[in-house]
Structure 1
Amino acid sequence: MIYQHWPQKLSTQIEVLAVKLPGRGERFMEQPLVHLDEMIDRLLHEIMPYTDKPLALFGHSMGAMIAFELARKLSASRTGQLSHLFVSAFSAVHLPRPKKGRHLLSDEELKLELRQLNGTNEELLNHAELMELYMPVIRADLELCDTYQFRPGEPLDCGITAIGGRKDVGIHEDDLDAWRIHTSRGFELHMLQGDHFFLHPEADLLLRILEHSLGKQ
């Protein structure tokens, strides 16, 4: 849903292919994935028909981790032309994770964690029945992040742009700048106004950054 307006705001030269993971939207009844390797394999299968053109990957928060590992898999398979990787609101993957075991928190502790991120509507957080439906998906996402094990490898042969929010209490500028070691090409860092979910209020500026980076390919 975050990306539904991007096609209208981006250049017609850029086609937006948004990923909807199991457990979301019309896939709500599907079991969420908690193992990253399985997710990457399934994503690689789905993305193959689109690798006949230059391909860039964008991921926000957990999506940045997924996009990075998918970029690695694409590079290893020598399939298509990976032109750029955009990582948003997520610390460089080789850094120690400051919080683990969040998927094991109690419901109240998890709600407090979500409030600190400021990305979940307060009305939803206070709606017991809806939260009971969403909690399994939230816990699955956190388990995916908490159990992620970075494996050292060669830097990507594509540029990386890291983007963060100046008021993000969990992801700091140094954490984002550390992404630079994962590319053998160019690296850029952009800090925007806002917190962990800056991509909502700063959507227009974010899309200009994407267009500028892709225009240099």
Structure 2
Amino acid sequence: MAATGDKWVMTLKAAAAEPAGTLFCFPYAGGSPETFRGWTDGIADDIELVCVILPGRGRRLKEARYDRWQPLVDDVFEALSPHLDRRHAFYGHSFGGRLAYELSHRAAAEYPGMTRRLFVSGCRSPDMPQRRPYMHQMTESDFRDAVAGMGGTPAELFEQERLMRLLLPTVRSEIRLAELWDDRHACGVDVPITALYSPDDPIDGWETMRGWQKFTQQDYELIEAPGGHFFVDSHPEFVTDIVNTRLGNLNG
């Protein structure tokens, strides 16, 4: 699964051992494959590491962004469908965790038994209310300050005005989707869930993530991670150790 010819996915690490399974990764709002590129040394050899690329960043920077959940889920699922007929797992952080959960519903229904685990991190459960006031309703200057304060965007990017004018609408659009997201399903996923939170996360910590146990029909665990909201960036070794342990039987 190479980047060329498929605008939706980028393979960051091909599996070097068989039998292989695929881990599809979904970044936070406005995020890029760079977050998961730091995982390549830590991911087990029998796991293919793939990042899903949405419109509004990287090579898709000028493409139209999504403003509703259903078209987004439909299009991503269609794009991934050719790859979902073999064993795989989903990992999503923050906004990406919401998208990974939505896709797990579809994948588990249409490709039974192939989705072996859902990882969600820094992402409130569907029944937890979003903190107010909404970021996506802020003025541009306040929104910039809020995004900078979150810490996920390199400080030097804010000095590149042209790039920020292109990127910030994508961040706002995906934060809007994340903030308006709620429970859209009659039951949880038929997939085991591993949820990761940081006690130092001011956005979504233990209090807003503990409810994930109600959204799976299989096993569930809630794991404390070091770092703040962006521990997927700052502590890749911790996360990949968790992933490798849980996916040790990905092909079992």
Shared fold, TM over 0.5: yes
User: What's the % identity of the aligned pairs?
Assistant: 26
State the match for 1:61 in structure 2. 94
Tell me whether 167-176 or 146-155 shows the greater mean CA deviation.
146-155
Relative to structure 1, the CA distance from residue 80 to residue 184 in structure 2 (aligned partners, 3 Å threshold; closer, same or farther) is closer
- Name the structure with the higher helix share: 1
Structure 2 distance, partners of 1:8, 1:159, is: 25
- Provide the alpha-carbon RMSD of the alignment: 1.8
State the match for 2:228 in structure 1. 195
By how many angstroms is 1:47 displaced? 1.3
Relative to structure 1, the CA distance from residue 216 to residue 99 in structure 2 (aligned partners, 3 Å threshold; closer, same or farther) is farther
Contact 1:3 1:18 in 2 (8 A): yes
Contact 2:77 2:103 in 1 (8 A): yes
TM-score by length of 2: 0.80
Relative to structure 1, the CA distance from residue 100 to residue 22 in structure 2 (aligned partners, 3 Å threshold; closer, same or farther) is farther
By how many angstroms is 1:24 displaced? 1.0
Structure 1 distance, partners of 2:207, 2:178, is: 20
Structure 2 distance, partners of 1:78, 1:154, is: 18
Matching residue within 38, 42, 45 for 2:75: 42
**C-alpha distance after superposition, 1:156-195 (max 9, x if no partner):** 2211000112211121212222101111211111111111
State the match for 2:246 in structure 1. 213
By how many angstroms is 1:78 displaced? 4.4
Structure 2 distance, partners of 1:213, 1:114, is: 32
By how many angstroms is 1:2 displaced? 1.3
| Structure 2 alignment gaps of length 5 or more | 1-33
Matching residue within 124, 140, 143 for 1:110: 143
By how many angstroms is 1:108 displaced? 1.4
By how many angstroms is 1:130 displaced? 3.0
By how many angstroms is 1:80 displaced? 5.7
Structure 1 distance, partners of 2:211, 2:106, is: 21
TM-score by length of 1: 0.92
Structure 2 distance, partners of 1:126, 1:48, is: 39
Relative to structure 1, the CA distance from residue 27 to residue 20 in structure 2 (aligned partners, 3 Å threshold; closer, same or farther) is same
Matching residue within 204, 226, 230 for 1:171: 204
Amino acid at match of 1:11: A
Contact 1:51 1:79 in 2 (8 A): no
Matching residue within 196, 201, 213 for 1:180: 213
